[in-house]
Amino acid sequence: MNLNKYNQIYQSLSSDIVEGKYEAGEILPSEHKLLESFGVSRETVRKALNLLQENGYIQKMKGKGSVIIYNPSMNLTVSHLISFKEVQEQQEKIYTTKVYSLEKIPAEECPNVQVSLNLSDQTPIWQLIRQRLYEDKTHIIDTDYFMYDMMPGLTEEIAAGSIYEYIEERLGHKISYSQKEITFSPMTELDIELFGPVQPPYTAKVKSVVHLSDATPFQYNVSKHLASEFKFVDFSRRFTGE
């Protein structure tokens, strides 16, 4: 997959950087050298370099070149949309996923969800509650809502694995973008039941609405973390233009 050239160049250069072939502070070969070695036009190299810059690998400087700014110590959760399973693989921490409940309910029971996913009262939706455990202790509680009609074949077994994998590979949908919201909120009774008695009785709550590439909102997710353990890392640029 991803057969286009600039993506291949991006992959190639980003893995070189991650593997340490270039170190922070070094200058990447110039665009001219890169277009020669990859045998492509300049704009194609530039697309790859722009991706590297947007994702925090390099900083381009007019007249000088592209400096590597990637630092292995910076967590690579660059505020991108990745599934829990992917985060886990990056961090090499092994969590267990336990399905607490999977139910089919009418949309009207969750007004927030109904509004965000733009559904009528009686539209059936899945409500899925999962615990993420590390050494038998719950660290994250994930509550998801999906349109039932979009995935009538959902089972507890699938939910225990990667839902994203199921949606993208089995159902062939493309996940595209999301809006997240991070807040700090007091634990509910269910939170206390699943997390156990911890201090402070607060969670870091990450609410997100995930959209497919045709812009339909299809997932409403609430991910609650133990507040004391939560950390969100983000790489951002001042102006996307210029």
Rounded Cα distance, 139 and 192, in Å: 12
Site for a copy of itself in 183-222 (CB under 8 A): 183-184, 186, 200, 202, 204, 211, 213-215
Binding site for DNA (CB under 7 A): 4-7, 28, 30-33, 39-44, 46-47, 49, 60-66, 241-242
Rounded Cα distance, 102 and 128, in Å: 5
- Residue 17 within binding range of a copy of itself, rule CB under 8 A: no
Which residue shows structure tokens 């607060």?
Answer: 202
Q: 106: helix, coil or strand? A: strand
The secondary element (H helix, E strand) that includes residue 212 is strand 202-212
Angle between helices 42-54 and 31-38 (to 10 degrees): 110
Site for a copy of itself in 133-172 (CB under 8 A): none
Pick 50 or 123: Cβ nearer a copy of itself: 50
Site for a copy of itself in 29-88 (CB under 8 A): 43, 51, 54-56, 59, 61, 67, 69, 74, 79-82
Rounded Cα distance, 175 and 38, in Å: 30
Residue from 76, 79, 78 nearest 182 by CA: 79
The least CB distance from residue 51 to DNA, in Å, is: 11
Q: Which residues bind a copy of itself (CB under 8 A)?
A: 2, 4, 6-7, 10, 43, 51, 54-56, 59, 61, 67, 69, 74, 79-82, 175-184, 186, 200, 202, 204, 211, 213-215, 227-228, 230-242
